[in-house]
Structure 1
């Protein structure tokens, strides 16, 4: 099969399309003919040598990627034959192998794709959608809510805009550049502003007409986050689920005492509950997309252009979820 392999940590150009042996499904596993592989910002950090949330450092060479969608084409021992030929999506967890024509995973990880979703939409929901479902557990989207969302043109941000609007909130979306801001406006935000404009915060204040933000949903950090926190009124909350502007790192993100809290990792799982919190969030995300309440935007790249996909994601030249298609 063809796969993207990383032999040395470093720039996007280190991602190479190669011929490798087909993976074999073990007991309790399925092999998926991949039609879409999700690209995550974490993938770019791991490519550079960061460890991130992984239990151990990445071992080279590796096939990156942990989100796939495709068709089950081979079964391991003990797997029911009813899975053969089904359209499925799965998050591979800590195991890599997604940037490839074939991927192997435990059958307990797979979800059948709803009929009205294509492979790219499904892979967007299994990772990015799962994250959104985890974030919104901690948010208050009542009719009096005024929600500010930095990076609202991204995969997570775009879905958060939709979710908040569906819940009746007033939504302000921030994006880098007028084209992205226009996409955020078209995606349902009550106001979309370009945070590269030095006067963007004053535009938000003028739009709100004396009201304050009640909630900031922040995956960016840095100066944009600090300016967003300044828009909050008494009792306002700053939920942090990433800090891309300051780089992915192993330490704590930027937090403001008494205002901010981090809502990923153990917090997300504790609030989800149940024996398998992540699977619960995945099911919720796929259900929202199947019902048409959440529609993921997707930026597609051929598998062989993984380096270009990483470069575009890191330089913020993408909108929606970045997906590789073999």
Structure 2
């Protein structure tokens, strides 16, 4: 099979194409003929050897999400699965390939009205956004800040928050990304690369905000946390800046602010599965739209990572084997 491997951590150019033996599914496994492989921001952190990335053993074939048709099943798996259109995690690695193994327990059938690229774009980002939205408990009329609002998760959070009746303030780093956030329903947009972005944000929410979805971290966390009203929720779900933001628990308790970590939506694997199913259902109904900003051939995975690192991408980046 065709695959892309990283022999050691480093810059995007450590990713290179390789030919590997075709994998064979074992008990409770299927093999997917991959049509689309998802790239997550975590993939780029693992590849770079970032201290905030999950541990990985090199050499590694990155990728934890694929979509395609099942072409082979394990010895104890119902052969009726063969030919099914599915999206699925791959156990953490192995997604940047033309063939991938997955557990039957992880398979999601792609709704007939949804394309495999759209479903793959919703696999990780959809479950994350739906889970974060559920944990935040947004109420009609509340003011919600979404960081990285044109990204894979952020673009979904804008839509989900707006559907809950919130006033949505979208933060992004370019005019094009802010324009995109407005097409998704954002009421106000702020470019966090402007030197006075915090002043603009305070002007947009003079009475403070109720919910923050923070996927950036570092100093951005300090600035945003100061805007949260008593009874608000601060949802920390990423560290795109390279480090997680710090919030003093005593300060949060004193202000009656609930801090919700990313781990709050992953404690129960059944919840993650149901969040993905919910995202796929919403997309099939037309009420949630994934943003597929760019696609790359599988052998150009290094170029895809370089684009993500440069912060020039919008929405989800996909590989096409």
CA shift digits 1:96-115 (9 cap, x unpaired) = 11001110111121111011
The 5 A counterparts of 1:288-303 are 288-298=282-292, 299-303=294-298
Give me the whole-angstrom Cα distance separating, in 1, the residues matched to 2:52 and 2:231. 32
Residue 132 of structure 1 deviates from its aligned partner by: 0.9
The corresponding residue for 2:61 is: 63
Q: Which moved more, 1:197-206 or 1:63-72?
A: 197-206
Whether the 8 Å contact between 1:3 and 1:101 is mirrored in structure 2 is: yes
Residue 186 of structure 1 deviates from its aligned partner by: 1.5
Give me the whole-angstrom Cα distance separating, in 2, the residues matched to 1:189 and 1:120. 25
CA shift digits 1:238-260 (9 cap, x unpaired) = 2111121134xxxx642243146
CA RMSD between the two structures? 1.9
What is the DSSP-based 3-state SS (H/G/I as helix, E as strand, rest coil) of the residue aligned with 2:136?
Answer: coil
What is the DSSP-based 3-state SS (H/G/I as helix, E as strand, rest coil) of the residue aligned with 1:151?
Answer: coil
Whether the 8 Å contact between 2:151 and 2:315 is mirrored in structure 1 is: yes
Give me the whole-angstrom Cα distance separating, in 2, the residues matched to 1:183 and 1:256. 34
Task: Evaluate the alpha carbon distance shift between residue 84 and residue 49 of structure 1 in structure 2; reply closer, same or farther with a 3 A threshold.
Answer: same
Residue 230 of structure 1 deviates from its aligned partner by: 2.6
CA shift digits 1:5-42 (9 cap, x unpaired) = 11122111010011111111112211111111111111
CA shift digits 1:122-144 (9 cap, x unpaired) = 11211111111221122132122
Pair 1:170 & 2:167 matched = yes
Give me the whole-angstrom Cα distance separating, in 1, the residues matched to 2:7 and 2:202. 49
Task: Evaluate the alpha carbon distance shift between residue 316 and residue 222 of structure 1 in structure 2; reply closer, same or farther with a 3 A threshold.
Answer: same
What is the DSSP-based 3-state SS (H/G/I as helix, E as strand, rest coil) of the residue aligned with 2:157?
Answer: helix
Give me the whole-angstrom Cα distance separating, in 1, the residues matched to 2:220 and 2:8. 33
The corresponding residue for 1:263 is: 261
Whether the 8 Å contact between 2:124 and 2:276 is mirrored in structure 1 is: yes
Q: Given the two structures, how large is their TM-score scaled by the length of structure 2?
A: 0.92
What is the DSSP-based 3-state SS (H/G/I as helix, E as strand, rest coil) of the residue aligned with 1:34?
Answer: strand
CA shift digits 1:176-198 (9 cap, x unpaired) = 01111111112210011211112
The corresponding residue for 2:16 is: 16
CA shift digits 1:153-178 (9 cap, x unpaired) = 10000000000001100000000011
The 5 A counterparts of 1:218-297 are 218-247=214-243, 253-257=245-249, 258=252, 259=257, 261-265=259-263, 267-270=264-267, 276-297=270-291
Give me the whole-angstrom Cα distance separating, in 2, the residues matched to 1:89 and 1:65. 13
The corresponding residue for 1:31 is: 31
Q: Given the two structures, how large is their TM-score scaled by the length of structure 1?
A: 0.90
The corresponding residue for 2:304 is: 309
Equivalent of 2:121, from 117, 120, 124? 124
Residue 86 of structure 1 deviates from its aligned partner by: 1.0
The corresponding residue for 1:322 is: 317
Give me the whole-angstrom Cα distance separating, in 2, the residues matched to 1:3 and 1:212. 48
Q: Which moved more, 1:256-265 or 1:154-163?
A: 256-265
Unaligned runs of 5+ in 1: none
What is the DSSP-based 3-state SS (H/G/I as helix, E as strand, rest coil) of the residue aligned with 1:233?
Answer: strand
Aligned residues: 314
Residue 211 of structure 1 deviates from its aligned partner by: 3.1
Give me the whole-angstrom Cα distance separating, in 2, the residues matched to 1:84 and 1:253. 45
Task: Evaluate the alpha carbon distance shift between residue 113 and residue 313 of structure 1 in structure 2; reply closer, same or farther with a 3 A threshold.
Answer: same
Task: Evaluate the alpha carbon distance shift between residue 25 and residue 162 of structure 1 in structure 2; reply closer, same or farther with a 3 A threshold.
Answer: same
Give me the whole-angstrom Cα distance separating, in 2, the residues matched to 1:212 and 1:135. 20
Task: Evaluate the alpha carbon distance shift between residue 52 and residue 175 of structure 1 in structure 2; reply closer, same or farther with a 3 A threshold.
Answer: closer
Equivalent of 2:89, from 83, 91, 106? 91
